[in-house]
Structure 1
């Protein structure tokens, strides 16, 4: 069964126990009893959806059920060192889930990297079918940068060719391992236009698109791609001849012209032409071109999307450029300031400046990504932003908690939920909000630690709210024990 099927098939009693499995106040002996449950739904929630103490992790690693161990292998809440303990699991199913990595949490944050030694073990011992993008996502930035010179030959095969120096490429082409040499030779071959022409599939497929995007293109290959399905791919290829880049700048499809506008080597004449392109998306793409001055940007009639996806969990730049970051933060272009706001390493003086930025996207992205975003900014961003990542703002380190009870009667249910973050919320208000018309407000109220015990225990028999009540940290220990068979 898939995880969704397991969850859908759970009985009301199993869902209540699954709620108890999430209770942060549940002692180890309760968690261990839940781990021994016959319910896959309970074990799934316990092992996948919360952090676990080491004693419980010990029991999960030794658990006889393959599914149970696999839930820990893909848990975004488990420490990487805990997940790494499954690297030599006897079951292919568990190893496959470890290699694929955690399912993204509800905020879509990337997985924390596995220990370097664990990644090496996976690469050395796992079947090739398990060595995909999941392993790459779980590499630390430093490990990924050092693959080309790693002492283990199989790790060296994970080199990133486009980032290597000529000396590093030459070393890989002469590597003592035949597999490394073969892989390096394949990449080197595609720096030869004649080899690309020879290897280019004549049908639409991933291999064809990849070669058109990254291979060295002869003029006839680029010309043929323009006439078929490859215009978008060659529009961003740095080897596309200049005369064809000029043709692509006038392509009928605005997506192709956007791709051209993003080229760092775009000629001044083409920049001027695309600056007045009839498509607003093309003009916006061109307006952030690194070769433009602030005056040239300001002269372009661009429109910044108001409801840009103001996400979070940005991966810090491995090689940050402090000067560019400062230029972006003080640019007149909102998109460049948004780019700076995403950087969790933004200096304190720029954080202070962008906290009062006139652009909502800048303020929200700063709130979502910087660890020192001010509390006043976090709350303001929540009140003004209604996008899909709104609730994540409440999980930022500096988000205020006390004083939020004042929002308990707000018309917006998302704002009413804020009241349930207040540790000083009145018990009678928490009780009232368990009857709120909004299901998310009711659910949060059922988990509030100041909910009166009488109401809390009564909710254990409520079909909708029992799982939330069972997860309430104020649930008496006697009631926890009574729930577990």
Structure 2
């Protein structure tokens, strides 16, 4: 692949005439890059689709091709892309429902709005993968039918389908009122009892690690229960018994349900698996009493999850700020805080609390300015990206805390050009700041030249439109292909150079 041509294909300044020339010579990679262009005319899109089917698929997904533009026989994957977008032809669906390529029928089974006769054909498909894919996306009536399919893999897919009727999901989750499954993917291929080696040496084996069957299809049924637990349409009443299940994965899924009754929340708060307690801790359905219990959990992940709960009381969040390792993130409860609450948080004696409120980007000017002179570096790192900060305020942060805040100051969208240049000359150097400056809209040619000296920042700087044309031309011969592509994709590349590069 010619990296220069690949970069040019992505260049927003490439004239239509040169785009035409690239379409004429496009291989798969080049065609896929050209398909990303938003300025392709319909004629160009059709020409590109006719040259490489991968590009046709992408263009179909983006709605830039119509039924008239695609030959379903020569371009079945592009036809499937339109069908997946509910914009294809019913006759295409009928043709593809009996396509000899299993992957094509499998993709068709996931398409919306299929004719009833196509659904019937797919439901009777000899390959269980096709039927399972249909079960995952199909209508309520068909899902109810497939819930009784003899293959456990199909039933498992029905359990994941949010269109499956609740009574059918209850039946699948409990196994009551339904005959046992007869087969699964494991016993289809192996003599039972069998447990799949996680380090299976067979290159063509696609069984999941640990997949097992002793005649009861246990690993597939476990997967079915997990899917039913994740499915919001599954009645919570039928899942309550799983709170004592031996599988922590099942209890984990249960803890995330938004319809947990209070008694079940209390039971799961004592679960021995930290992951279960952590998912419960961030579930908005839990009450304050359970939240306060989990806030003292020995696991830092659980305590952090309490902080992520949108309903956590502010006093509890204040206690967690210094113990839960929350990091620099805007918590839901902080984002929803009232003006009075924001004022109180900003005045907190705890730096961890002030850091949390400093992550908001809609702070009143007076609160923003107070936090901008905070003595604690982690508070400054959180406030440094706030819009409206002056050059003097940003400079003061760097003067007081240097490398600890330099990258965050560089990331502020309003950081002026002179300060960006100064940050690239900072001693000691701040490697992350180079990468930030290289992407900044206010970066100057001088700052970008310094960024080019950093290996990680070099491709980003090569793409910046403020880079001088002579430097761009030189970068087209760089030994790093990422840099070459970035320079070729740079809209500041002179038109005359583009013309010379395109065959």
Q: What's the TM-score, normalizing by structure 1? A: 0.58
Counterpart-to-counterpart distance in 2, 1:362 and 1:123? 57
Verify: 1:471 aligned to 2:489, yes or no: yes
Counterpart-to-counterpart distance in 1, 2:106 and 2:325? 41
Judge conservation of contact 2:462–2:475 (CA < 8 Å) in 1.
no
Residue 405 of structure 1 is matched in structure 2 by 421
The root-mean-square deviation of aligned C-alpha atoms, in Å, is: 5.5
1:53 CA drift (Å): 1.9
The superposition leaves residues 319-338 of structure 1 with CA deviations (integer Å, 9 ceiling, x where unpaired) of xxx97676886684979996
Judge conservation of contact 1:433–1:442 (CA < 8 Å) in 2.
no
Verify: 1:84 aligned to 2:63, yes or no: yes
Counterpart-to-counterpart distance in 2, 1:184 and 1:222? 21
Judge conservation of contact 1:196–1:216 (CA < 8 Å) in 2.
no
Residue 144 of structure 1 is matched in structure 2 by none
Counterpart-to-counterpart distance in 2, 1:53 and 1:415? 33
Verify: 1:94 aligned to 2:60, yes or no: no
Task: List alignment gaps of at least 5 residues for structure 1.
Answer: 1-9, 75-82, 101-118, 137-150, 155-175, 312-316
Verify: 1:247 aligned to 2:235, yes or no: no
Residue 499 of structure 2 is matched in structure 1 by 481
Verify: 1:259 aligned to 2:272, yes or no: no
Residue 47 of structure 2 is matched in structure 1 by 62
Larger of the two Rg values belongs to structure: 2
Verify: 1:187 aligned to 2:165, yes or no: yes
Judge conservation of contact 1:225–1:234 (CA < 8 Å) in 2.
no
- Return closer, same or farther for 1:438/1:367 CA change in 2, 3 Å cut-off: same
Q: How do residues 26-175 of structure 1 correspond to structure 2 at under 5 angstroms?
A: 26-48=14-36, 51-55=37-41, 58-63=43-48, 64-65=50-51, 66-73=53-60, 83-86=62-65, 88=67, 89-90=70-71, 91-96=75-80, 119-121=85-87, 129-130=106-107
Report how many aligned residue pairs link the two structures. Answer: 387
The superposition leaves residues 42-67 of structure 1 with CA deviations (integer Å, 9 ceiling, x where unpaired) of 3332323xx43243x53023331212
1:414 CA drift (Å): 3.8
The superposition leaves residues 386-431 of structure 1 with CA deviations (integer Å, 9 ceiling, x where unpaired) of 99xx89957x6x565565333443422443452685778457x766
**2:241 alignment partner, one of 222, 234, 248:** 222
Judge conservation of contact 2:406–2:430 (CA < 8 Å) in 1.
no
Judge conservation of contact 2:295–2:320 (CA < 8 Å) in 1.
yes
Judge conservation of contact 2:410–2:420 (CA < 8 Å) in 1.
no
Judge conservation of contact 1:413–1:441 (CA < 8 Å) in 2.
no
Counterpart-to-counterpart distance in 2, 1:335 and 1:247? 31
Judge conservation of contact 2:438–2:451 (CA < 8 Å) in 1.
no
1:33 CA drift (Å): 1.1
Counterpart-to-counterpart distance in 1, 2:252 and 2:458? 46
The superposition leaves residues 194-243 of structure 1 with CA deviations (integer Å, 9 ceiling, x where unpaired) of 77423698545432113235533558961574334422233344666655
- Return closer, same or farther for 1:422/1:219 CA change in 2, 3 Å cut-off: closer
The superposition leaves residues 304-345 of structure 1 with CA deviations (integer Å, 9 ceiling, x where unpaired) of 43545789xxxxx9xxxx976768866849799969968xxx
- Return closer, same or farther for 1:350/1:205 CA change in 2, 3 Å cut-off: farther
Task: List alignment gaps of at least 5 residues for structure 2.
Answer: 98-104, 117-138, 146-160, 179-216
Judge conservation of contact 1:20–1:470 (CA < 8 Å) in 2.
yes
Q: How do residues 281-300 of structure 1 correspond to structure 2 at under 5 angstroms?
A: 281-287=301-307, 289=309, 293-299=313-319
- Return closer, same or farther for 1:271/1:97 CA change in 2, 3 Å cut-off: same
Judge conservation of contact 1:449–1:472 (CA < 8 Å) in 2.
no
The superposition leaves residues 242-274 of structure 1 with CA deviations (integer Å, 9 ceiling, x where unpaired) of 555433222211112223333444355534433
Q: Which is worse superposed, 197-206 or 28-37?
A: 197-206
Counterpart-to-counterpart distance in 1, 2:337 and 2:109? 33
1:479 CA drift (Å): 2.5
Q: What's the TM-score, normalizing by structure 2? A: 0.57
The superposition leaves residues 257-314 of structure 1 with CA deviations (integer Å, 9 ceiling, x where unpaired) of 2233334443555344333322233233335556654334445586343545789xxx
Counterpart secondary structure, 1:121: coil
Residue 468 of structure 2 is matched in structure 1 by 451
- Return closer, same or farther for 1:186/1:360 CA change in 2, 3 Å cut-off: farther
Counterpart-to-counterpart distance in 2, 1:20 and 1:364? 38
